[in-house]
């Protein structure tokens, strides 16, 4: 009664039911005539639907021969081909993984593009795939304005919101990105994904911005097939959940009907482009062939349910409309369907034989984007700086603490790079929790320095989207622990984009994060997170951690250069406890205040700084650890006769191994001072590197934080390295030589 190969079933059903005229009834009152769609446009979109279907079918057949590797198809969602026709090619699209028909239809705007072959190269993981070079099956294309998404579960929605917000800002600031100033952003996703916290964050942000009067020219397309893998979406939930939200226009269409989808989508496109307000387009679809090739749908749905769904195949509905309107005969339609099959099959056989990535170097080639993507920005002249920055420019000899120097540095960056945006919770009028951004709003205005609502997912996601449209975002996460709420926006989205687009797309950004411990117990563990592991295993990421204000300025200049010129994603960790620190050895000495660096000074990625030339012990550290080690160095020399050399790493990721080895050369022992928790800490990586690369191996000791959260009050620092414990550790490791 049933055939386990449902792909063959729906394929044969289409042919048999078209021949017999046994086609499903329409659920929509929209006709071809009332839709505003021409017969030519209808058949063009219908062709894209059939191409998308045959891509799904050939993927399954080739998978059975181990020639393709991805079987999440678009079957049942082919109605999204309409959007490939209605929206402009320069309306940036962040697509759901069931968007094959959209991709095929939009590609028709570029006649020289062979989207069928490109999709098949991607399905077969060929190194000749023009977007990902076989690293993943994605719908992505630079000329089609489709940044590639992987197996998205709503993680792309926040950046779609950011891209949409950036359109009006680009117009006002005369920034010309890939999205025109009257452009839209399109973002598609499934009904199950709409329940994800990331989707809720994005939709809330779009609605909130609209509620506040900010332009958000964005179309959310929820392709509702009623099920998430095996879990049904309650009937009526999507409409009930999204139809009454303030700041969000709700419209719905029958995704099984090309004519109804076309009519509603044209209205959505016109209204959204004119009003610059977000629209939620609810597109009702079905899901055919299960979630993916590995999904045995019969384990959770009855055959009656499966067959009833297959009866609502959108291709059958399109066939009914075509036949009823005399656009094609049944015999001609079957011939067209089978000719498309032959074309797709032939391309599939060819694509399956194309070269694959072979080596680790091949795979990793584009984790880091190509260098020199954009030219350097000139440093403003003194007259321009004086006019814009005024009393922020200080003369030689004046010394300042970290927060003040960093503030001055940020002002120079905003002046030098006119496409920079500085934003986050409280950064504008308040100037941030620690006044690091104080006064920048007055200097550069609310289009460039602005507050975000309390949602780290949206802060980072919006930054990614803004970067897609020509901006250089500098988002702030208020405390390091807060980053965990949104870490997938960096791990799963920003840092992977170059990898999955073979370097064709990048997310240039510098994420400022106030963090680490030593705040004398303020706020407990949620404001004193002493672990950087959340960043350290993300390929391609740059992580910087300065220990003083002058270095912060010089390192931040390098970070901005890396983002602007090379498209890098950078995390800039600012030790909170050092923001206002002025003294080093004793009260009033002012030794942790520094002059503002010359405008040309930078600390390059991979550079370390060495203090002292002692050979008894090399202390390798960073951040607060460097500050404490400098104190310990003086005590070791005066009280123990031990001459130490202190190395400030500056860069947590990538670890500057060669520079470290050069800096410790000639030292008899090594002490690693790690303010983060010992398990999984940077100290483990450093010690491993020393063991692998040094022969003979000197005595090594680690002084790291205990594997503990940070408590409140007087005991806040008892689990952390201290000046005294660093001295003790250095004495211990040096004593091994004396023995």
Q: What's the sign of the alpha-carbon dihedral 435, 405, 578, 556? A: positive
Tell me if 569 is assigned to some domain: yes
Alpha carbons 491 and 501: distance in angstroms, whole number: 15
Which of 735, 588, 590 shows the shortest CA–CA distance to 668?
Answer: 735
Q: Let me know: does 626 contact 652? Beta carbons within 8 Å.
A: no
In a domain, 591, yes or no: no
Residue 639 pLDDT exceeds 90: yes
**Do 343 and 445 have their domain in common?**
no
Cβ atoms within 10 A of the Cβ of 204, count? Answer: 18
Shared domain for 323 and 394, answered yes or no, is: no
Same domain, 241 and 192: yes
The per-residue pLDDT for range 652-709, each reduced to its tens digit, is 999 999 999 999 999 999 999 999 999 989 999 999 999 999 999 999 999 999 999 9
* pLDDT score of 464 more than 70: yes
With H, G, I as helix, E, B as strand and everything else as coil, classify residue 645. Answer: strand
- Cβ-based neighbours of 320, under 8 Å, separated by 6 or more: 23, 24, 25, 26
Residue 9 lies in a domain: no
**Closest to 317 measured CA to CA, from 251, 261, 235:** 261
Residue 480 forms part of a structural domain: yes
Computed on alpha carbons and rounded to an integer, the radius of gyration of the chain in Å comes to 29
Closest CA to 75 of 97, 42, 44: 97
Q: What CATH number is attached to the domain comprising 562? A: 3.40.50.970
- Whether residue 389 sits in one domain with residue 272: no
Q: Tell whether 535 and 614 lie within a shared domain.
A: no
Are residue 734 and residue 706 in the same domain, yes or no?
yes
Asked which of 337, 364, 391 is the last residue of a domain, the reply is: 364
Nearest C-alpha neighbor of 647 from the set 638, 637, 635, 667: 667
DSSP code for 671: E
- How far apart are the C-alpha atoms of 373 and 371, rounded to whole Å? 6
Run of H or E residues at 218: strand 218-224
Residue 1 has pLDDT above 50, yes or no: no
* pLDDT surpassing 70 at residue 739: no
**677 is a domain residue:** yes
Q: What residues have CB less than 8 Å from 377, skipping those under 6 apart?
A: 416, 417, 564
Based on the fold, state whether residues 360 and 260 are members of the same structural domain: yes
For residues 91 and 175, membership in a common domain is answered with: yes
> What is the DSSP pairing of strand 279-284 with strand 231-232?
unpaired
Q: Output phi, psi for 334, to 5 deg.
A: -60, -40
CB atoms within 10 A of CB 384: 12
The model carries a pTM of 0.96
* Whether 403 and 336 share a structural domain: no
Say which CATH number the domain at 725 has. 3.40.50.920
Number of domains the chain is built from: 3
The domain boundary residue, chosen from 330, 364, 398: 364
Quote the Cα angle for 297-298-300, to 5°: 80
Residue for token pair 């074309």: 343
- Tens digits of residue pLDDT in 370-400: 999 999 999 999 999 999 998 777 666 799 9
* H or E stretch covering 352: helix 330-352
Helices (H) and strands (E) in the chain, counts: 26, 19
Q: 603 in a domain, yes or no?
A: no
pLDDT at residue number 339:
98
Angstrom distance (rounded) from CA 307 to CA 24:
13
Q: What is the mean pLDDT of residues 272-301?
A: 94
Domain match, 431 and 535 both:
yes
CA angle 591, 592, 595 (to 5 degrees): 90
Above 70 in pLDDT, residue 521?
A: no
Residues 184 and 62 in one domain: yes
The per-residue pLDDT for 586 is 96
Residues 53-91: pLDDT tens digits? 999 999 999 999 999 887 889 999 999 999 999 999 999
| Angle, alpha carbons 284-285-288 (nearest 5°) | 160
Report the pLDDT value the prediction gives residue 538, as an integer from 0 to 100: 96
Q: Assess whether 79 and 175 both reside in one domain.
A: yes
Across 591-608, average pLDDT: 97
- Separation between Cα atoms, residue 87 and residue 264, nearest integer Å: 12
Tokens 């098949």 identify what position? 120
Average pLDDT, the chain: 95
In a domain, residue 377? The reply is no
In a domain, 598, yes or no: no
Q: Is 446 exposed, middle or buried (0-12, 13-18, 19+ CB in 10 A)?
A: exposed
- Alpha carbon dihedral 554, 163, 103, 122, in 10-degree steps, equals 20
Instruction: Note the pLDDT tens digit of each residue in 406-446.
Output: 999 999 999 999 999 999 999 999 999 999 999 999 999 99
Strands 670-677 and 644-648: unpaired
Could you list the residue range(s) of the whole structural domain that residue 168 is in? 30-364
DSSP assignment string, 689-720: HHHHH-SSPPPEEEEEE-S----SSTTTTTTS
């Amino acid at each position: 009664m049933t055939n386990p190969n449902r792909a063959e079933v729906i394929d044969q059903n289409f042919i048999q039911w078209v021949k017999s005229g046994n086609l499903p009834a329409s659920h929509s009152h929209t006709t071809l005539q009332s839709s505003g769609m021409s017969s030519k446009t209808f058949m063009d979109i219908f062709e894209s639907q059939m191409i998308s279907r045959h891509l799904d079918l050939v993927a399954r057949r080739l998978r059975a021969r181990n020639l393709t590797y991805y079987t999440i198809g678009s079957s049942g969602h082919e109605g999204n081909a309409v959007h490939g026709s209605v929206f402009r090619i320069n309306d940036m699209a962040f697509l759901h993984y069931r968007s094959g028909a959209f991709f095929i239809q939009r590609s028709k705007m570029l006649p020289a593009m062979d989207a069928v072959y490109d999709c098949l190269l991607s399905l077969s993981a060929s190194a000749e795939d023009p977007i990902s070079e076989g690293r993943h099956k994605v719908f992505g294309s630079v000329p089609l304005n489709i940044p590639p998404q992987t197996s998205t579960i709503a993680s792309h929605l926040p950046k779609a919101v950011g891209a949409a917000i950036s359109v009006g800002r680009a117009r006002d600031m005369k920034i010309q990105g890939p999205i025109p100033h009257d452009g839209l952003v399109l973002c598609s996703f499934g009904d199950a994904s709409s329940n994800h916290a990331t989707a809720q964050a994005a939709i809330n942000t779009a609605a909130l911005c609209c509620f506040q009067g900010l332009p958000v020219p964005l179309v959310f397309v929820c392709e509702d097939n009623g099920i998430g893998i095996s879990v049904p979406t309650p009937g009526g939930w999507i409409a009930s959940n999204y139809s009454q939200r303030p700041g969000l226009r709700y419209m719905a269409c029958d995704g099984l009907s090309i004519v109804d989808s076309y009519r509603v989508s044209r209205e959505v496109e016109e209204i959204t482009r004119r009003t610059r307000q977000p629209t939620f387009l609810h597109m009702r679809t079905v899901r055919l062939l299960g979630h993916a090739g590995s999904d045995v749908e019969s384990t959770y749905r009855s055959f009656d349910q499966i067959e009833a769904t297959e009866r609502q195949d959108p291709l059958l509905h399109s066939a009914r409309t075509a036949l009823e309107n005399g656009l094609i005969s049944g015999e001609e339609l079957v011939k067209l369907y089978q000719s498309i099959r032959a074309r797709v099959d032939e391309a599939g056989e060819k694509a399956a034989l194309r070269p694959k990535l072979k080596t680790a170097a091949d795979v990793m080639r584009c984790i880091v984007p190509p260098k020199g993507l954009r030219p350097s920005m000139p440093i403003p002249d003194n007259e321009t700086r004086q006019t814009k920055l005024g009393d922020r420019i200080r003369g030689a000899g004046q010394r300042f603490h970290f927060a003040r120097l960093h503030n001055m540095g940020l002002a120079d960056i905003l002046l030098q790079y006119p496409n920079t945006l500085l934003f986050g919770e409280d950064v504008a009028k308040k100037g941030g929790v620690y006044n690091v951004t104080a006064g920048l709003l007055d200097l550069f205005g609310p289009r460039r320095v602005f507050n975000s609502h309390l949602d780290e997912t949206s802060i980072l996601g919006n930054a990614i989207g803004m970067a897609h449209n020509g901006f250089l975002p500098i988002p702030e996460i208020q405390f390091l622990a807060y980053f965990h709420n949104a870490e997938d926006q960096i791990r799963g989205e920003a840092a992977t984009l170059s990898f999955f687009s073979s370097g064709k797309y990048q997310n240039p950004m510098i994420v400022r994060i106030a963090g680490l411990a030593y705040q004398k117990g303020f706020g407990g563990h949620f404001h004193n997170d002493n672990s950087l592991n959340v960043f350290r295993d993300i390929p391609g990421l740059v992580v910087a951690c300065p220990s003083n204000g002058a270095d912060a300025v010089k390192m931040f200049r390098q970070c901005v250069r890396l983002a602007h010129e090379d498209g890098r994603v950078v995390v800039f960790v600012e030790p909170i406890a050092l923001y206002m620190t002025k003294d080093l050895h004793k009260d009033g000495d002012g030794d942790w205040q520094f002059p503002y660096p010359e405008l040309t000074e930078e600390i390059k990625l991979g550079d370390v700084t060495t203090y002292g030339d002692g050979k008894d012990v090399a202390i390798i550290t960073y951040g607060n650890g460097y500050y404490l080690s400098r104190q310990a160095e003086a005590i070791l020399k005066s009280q123990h006769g031990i001459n130490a050399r202190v190395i400030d790493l500056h860069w947590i990721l990538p670890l500057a191994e060669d520079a470290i080895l050069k800096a410790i050369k000639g030292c008899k022992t090594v002490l690693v001072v790690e303010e983060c928790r010992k398990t999984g800490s940077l100290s483990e990586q450093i010690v491993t590197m020393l063991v692998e690369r040094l022969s003979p191996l000197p005595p090594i000791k680690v002084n790291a934080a205990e594997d503990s959260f940070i408590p409140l009050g007087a005991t806040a620092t008892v689990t952390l390295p201290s000046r005294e414990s660093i001295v003790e550790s250095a004495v211990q490791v040096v004593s091994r030589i004396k023995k």
